[in-house]
Amino acid sequence: MAETTGVLKTEKAIAFVKYSFEKALSRRLKLFRISSPIAVMENTGLNDELNGVERPVSFNTKWGNGSLAVIVHSLAKWKRLRLKEIGVKPGRGLLTDMRALRPEEDYSPIHSIYVDQWDWEKRIHPKYRTISYLRNVVHNIYGALKETEHRLCLEFPEITPLLPKSLRFIHAEELLQTYPDLTPKQRETAIAKKYGAVFINGIGAVLSSGEAHDGRAPDYDDWSTVNEEGSTGLNGDLILWSPVLNNAIEISSMGIRVDPAALQRQLHIRGCIEKSAYPFHRMLLQGKLPQSIGGGIGQSRLCMFMLRKTHIGEVQASIWPSGERERLASMGVHLL
């Protein structure tokens, strides 16, 4: 009976976190809810290629004439097209639940092949393609996180606040110079542990080490434009420190999206200029898509952090390696 009660309480807390955060985020960023697909046709160029090497789940349809449909990795590009189709005005944006399958995802306490996140996209005026505007949006997202944690702690007094008062910003090159002997993930761990919450800017561009901090597809985030501060990139990752895991958790990947010049440049950098023939890419290069900023915020990861859980399976129902449920149950960790 105790286990059942625990599961029910966890489910209630999950619902509370999701409702509270979505409400706070929508208010702060002026977003409205829309419906979204779980699959798109492969030849449209709409699916997110993540690091550019992950293969999506694909399937045939009765009417596809040989073309495959693919389960989305995220809705990074689909949302931008939807801004145009709906006719969203600058300063407003959209928010949707994204459900995806990423079968090549590495298994770990914070990784699952099932991905659930809030995908959001906001139309902006071209003059806001700046690092200062990006930081303003990140501050609003962090404010929504703080607001959610505050409400959660009032509703569930056994949970105590963890988020620091302010968020630290750092460029990937500065992070490299600070921890030159560490790997990118080790750098993230070190900086997150030091500050509690950090936004790492400029992810995707090659650093002075000759390597990028992490991979980024060339056709959504702008990671190659030199911003007004002289550094490269208008994107980044929001990372929190979890003392429960004694590790860093990436909560959000986001950025100001490529304009035609940045898309052309990044396709050349990645050696995939042939993608400019896809319908989405043609529209963007022809200036037919609105300028925007957007990203994804992990729902299960946020719940995991907020509820102080040690495994993502405690806040989402997924599939796991053989024997994993039994092994974790023996450690007192019960997966949904």
53 band by pLDDT with thresholds 50, 70 and 90: low
Domain assignment of residue 96, yes or no = yes
Known catalytic residue at 102? yes
- Domain of 50, CATH number, reads 3.30.930.10
What gap in Å lies between CA 102 and CA 251, rounded to an integer?
A: 17
Kindly tell me if the per-residue pLDDT of 240 is higher than 80. Answer: yes
1 band by pLDDT with thresholds 50, 70 and 90: very low
Domain assignment of residue 335, yes or no = no
Domain assignment of residue 142, yes or no = yes
Q: What is the pLDDT of residues 285-314, one digit of tens each?
A: 999 999 999 999 999 899 999 999 988 878
Closest CA to 27 of 92, 110, 103, 106: 92
Q: Report the domain count for the chain.
A: 1
State what percent of residues in the chain have pLDDT above 90. 67
What gap in Å lies between CA 65 and CA 27, rounded to an integer?
A: 43
Check residue 182 and give its pLDDT.
97
Known catalytic residue at 48? yes
Kindly tell me if the per-residue pLDDT of 73 is higher than 90. Answer: no
Known catalytic residue at 253? yes
Q: What is the DSSP letter of 206?
A: B
What is the extent of the structural domain holding 44?
A: 2-329
Known catalytic residue at 35? no
Check residue 52 and give its pLDDT.
53
Quote the pTM value: 0.90
Please check whether residue 7 is in contact with residue 304, taking contact to mean a CB–CB distance below 8 angstroms.
Answer: no
Over the chain, what is the mean pLDDT?
89
Domain assignment of residue 158, yes or no = yes
Q: Which residue out of 20, 26, 48, 112 is catalytically annotated?
A: 48
Q: Which residue out of 20, 224, 253, 291 is catalytically annotated?
A: 253
Query: Which of the two residues, 288 and 215, has the higher pLDDT score?
Result: 288
Q: What is the pLDDT of residues 132-152, one digit of tens each?
A: 999 999 999 999 999 999 999
Domain assignment of residue 238, yes or no = yes
Kindly tell me if the per-residue pLDDT of 5 is higher than 60. Answer: no
Domain assignment of residue 250, yes or no = yes
Known catalytic residue at 117? yes
Q: What is the DSSP letter of 317?
A: -
Q: Which residue out of 74, 117, 224, 252 is catalytically annotated?
A: 117
Q: Which residue out of 250, 264, 265, 318 is catalytically annotated?
A: 250
Known catalytic residue at 106? no
Kindly tell me if the per-residue pLDDT of 325 is higher than 80. Answer: no
Domain assignment of residue 69, yes or no = yes
Q: What is the pLDDT of residues 253-276, one digit of tens each?
A: 999 999 999 999 999 999 999 999
Domain assignment of residue 336, yes or no = no
Check residue 150 and give its pLDDT.
96
Contacts of 19 (CB under 8 A, 6+ apart): none
Q: Which residue out of 80, 102, 129, 187 is catalytically annotated?
A: 102
